[in-house]
Structure 1
Amino acid sequence: MSESSEQPDVEAETLILAFGDSLYAGYGLAPDEGFAPELQKALNEAGQDVKVHNAGVSGDTTAAGLRRMDFVLDSLSRKPDLVLLGLGGNDLLRGLKPSETRANMEAMVKKLSDRDIPVMLTGMLAPPNLGKEFSDQFNVIYPALAKKYEASLYPFFMDGVVGRTDLILPDGIHPNAEGIDIIVERITPSVESALQG
């Protein structure tokens, strides 16, 4: 076997599934610069034996995520100890109805709840240009579902990065490597807390 052969996933004590869109997938970044590998690194450096499985798919809406969730869960070697669920950004970009986003998010949280898998929602916030009524309907989705299903909540995935051109790729949407570092630094304590239940 050549040295370049991929090593099988080493079983870690804790398995986190990062289930989301391009923000999770590491769009526009080197393979080791994305959210999942950087979060795994941060948790490992904090002394936790954690594997973060990246199930981020660029372009996924909440509807697309719902369609693939069972397949992803069934294809893992074991039940994850925590699922980070980060979808909704593409729904915003397409101007989809908040009621549809909410229904899809709820269906995914319910699937995880039915399988007895803890979930942490990483929320999105609607940009002001979509109007107050839209924002009011969208921005309550994540806190409401977290409360209803007793899930952990990180209110806004892009916290600390949005509006900072130095932390965003030229597309004006996705975080660059420095932006990911800030997101990971801010979210890691919440992930650690969610793991402790």
Structure 2
Amino acid sequence: MKPVITLLGDSISAGFGLRPSEALPNQLEIALAGLGVDATVWGSGVSGDASADGLRRIARAVHRDTALCVVAFGGNDLMQLVAPDRTEANLTAIIEWLEARDIAVVLAGMRAPPWAGVYGLMFDQTFARLSRRRGLHVYPFLLEGVALTARYNLPDRIHPNAEGVKVIARGLAPVVAKALADRTAFDDAGRTSL
């Protein structure tokens, strides 16, 4: 049976301004297949969601058969100037909820733009600190290679276009594939030791 991956996040996960076939869930599934990983990717992104919104809806947002969840919040926290320690607390609670249900986690980070000053520096440290503390698989910046690059963004200059999403999917897929492989190895080791 194919492993189920849930992509829990905001408008980037939801495919804002794109057709479903162009959106990140579908493109991540394609990118994983290109790496030889046959998985089903469920999109659970809601445009406008910050980390607190994701925490509030997690029980109904994560597919019950999920083997791995990509947690992809931060952009709206950044735009709303949510205190970085609050964002970290929300993400920690999401991760703990997932781990308590034996769901592997990949944390997709976000970065502040260069002009965000001290707040930006504090915000950026949130994801690295959380991944170190929790020992997570992490994709440090969800918009790597896409942010601030006009040809990869919609006219709003915030959301990735179809080509930008492909760049994101190609970058994210190896991290997800490694996390799935590690989960499988752990599960196999557990069964062997029984």
TM norm structure 1: 0.88
CA shift, 1:136, in A, is 2.1
Partner of 2:19: 30
Is 1:113 aligned with 2:99? Answer: yes
Q: Does 1:104 find its partner at 2:93?
A: no
2:36 matched to which residue of 1?
47
TM-score, normalized by length of structure 2? 0.89
Q: Which 5+ residue runs of structure 2 have no aligned equivalent?
A: 183-194
Does the residue aligned with 1:171 lie in a helix, a strand or coil? Answer: coil
Aligned to 1:82: 68
How many Å separate the matches in 2 of 1:192 and 1:176?
24
Whole-Å separation in 1 of the counterparts to 2:173 and 2:103: 19
Map of 1:9 onto structure 2 = none
2:146 is aligned with what amino acid?
Answer: V
Residue number in structure 2 paired with 1:184: 169
Unpaired stretches in structure 1, ≥5 consecutive residues: 1-11
The one-letter code of the counterpart of 1:55 is S
RMSD: 1.2
Letter of the 1:29 partner, please give it.
L
SS at structure 2 position matched to 1:16: strand
Higher helix share: 2
2:61 paired residue number: 72
Distance 1:161 1:45 in 2: 21
Conservation of the 8 A alpha-carbon contact between 2:107 and 2:138? yes
Report the secondary structure of 1:81's partner residue: strand
1:124 to 101, 104, 110: 110
Match of 1:92 in 2: 78
Identity value in percent: 39
Q: 4+ residue stretches of structure 1 with deviation over 4 A?
A: none
